[in-house]
Amino acid sequence: MFLQKTIRSRVQVQGIGIHSGEACALNFVPAPPNTGVHFVRADLPGKPSLKVHAANVSATGNATTLSGPEFSVATVEHCLSALSALRIDNLLIELNGPEIPITDGSARSFLDALLKVGLIEQDQPRKYCYLTQPIYYAEGDKQAYVVPYNGLRLTVTIEFPHPVIGRQKIDQDINEESFSRELAGARTFGFLKDVEAMQARGLAKGGSLENAVVLDDRNVMNPEGLRWPDEFVRHKALDALGDLVTLSMPLMGHVVLYKAGHDMMNKLVRKIFESTDSYRRIELGTDLTEQERF
């Protein structure tokens, strides 16, 4: 039987907010079994919390934003992607303000912090979302679907009319090792004209070549270049893993995305919730038949 997991002790990640440009921090804090994952505003009266759930997704433009009655938190996908890869079930993510540290624009700092304190099994079984039939969502040429698979696998394809990006594809089984090696260090990216437009509106004040890959009309502007030639699609896979945490239960399935960003991921997760005849809640190691195991 696979048991739920949390972390052994609290740990902090520091940095700046992508929009404010001001110093901020978060603390990962252990949580009891069956808690799920919640953001907590430790700086507000009563320390209000917000569950990481698709129903609380309020915006999916350049990033995923969660909102509740008392606060909102944006760009949640980078830190959540590490939770997805590590199969962390129960966690409080305490914030000291409205923003999450952008760090270097990847998930590496969040993953390293979680691994530093280590994980601990709890006394309750983990309930998986086990796909029994394909679930499909499409809008125009954008596609997002998930098919049965004994594990978690991502196939992501992107297409951008930019000479450095073009068409890129990654196909990856997701576990701690593969995430750390292939995805965690992939940075968010943007185009110079879009960054300048955001900054003109008073946003992205903390954005820089230190926390994003920035492209002009033809080239990567970062002096150090790319970490991988296909860093762009790797980051999109990282984003998708973070958005999967809004399912509020670990997925067993193969997620296939074509030109699909945060909006399509949110709609796919909501479609999964609606498709109750296409998945089962199972305890891995006890509920699968021999035919389903192999």
Which residues are part of the catalytic machinery? Answer: 262
Instruction: Determine contact, residues 148/158, Cβ cutoff 8 Å.
Output: no
Q: Do the Cβ atoms of 241 and 85 come closer than 8 Å? A: yes
Answer yes or no: are the C-beta atoms of 293 and 10 closer than 8 Å: no
For 112, the token pair is: 């390293």
> How does DSSP classify residue 182?
I
- Determine the Cα angle at 77 with ends 74 and 167, to 5°: 120
Q: What are phi and psi of 49, to 5 degrees?
A: -120, 160
Q: 269 burial class (0-12, 13-18, 19+ CB within 10 angstroms)?
A: buried
Q: Is residue 242 within 8 Å of residue 154, measured between CB atoms?
A: no
* 287, two tokens: 């509920």
254 phi and psi, to 5 degrees?
-110, 110
Dist CA 196 CA 209 (whole Å): 13
User: 285 and 3 in contact (C-beta within 8 Å)?
Assistant: no
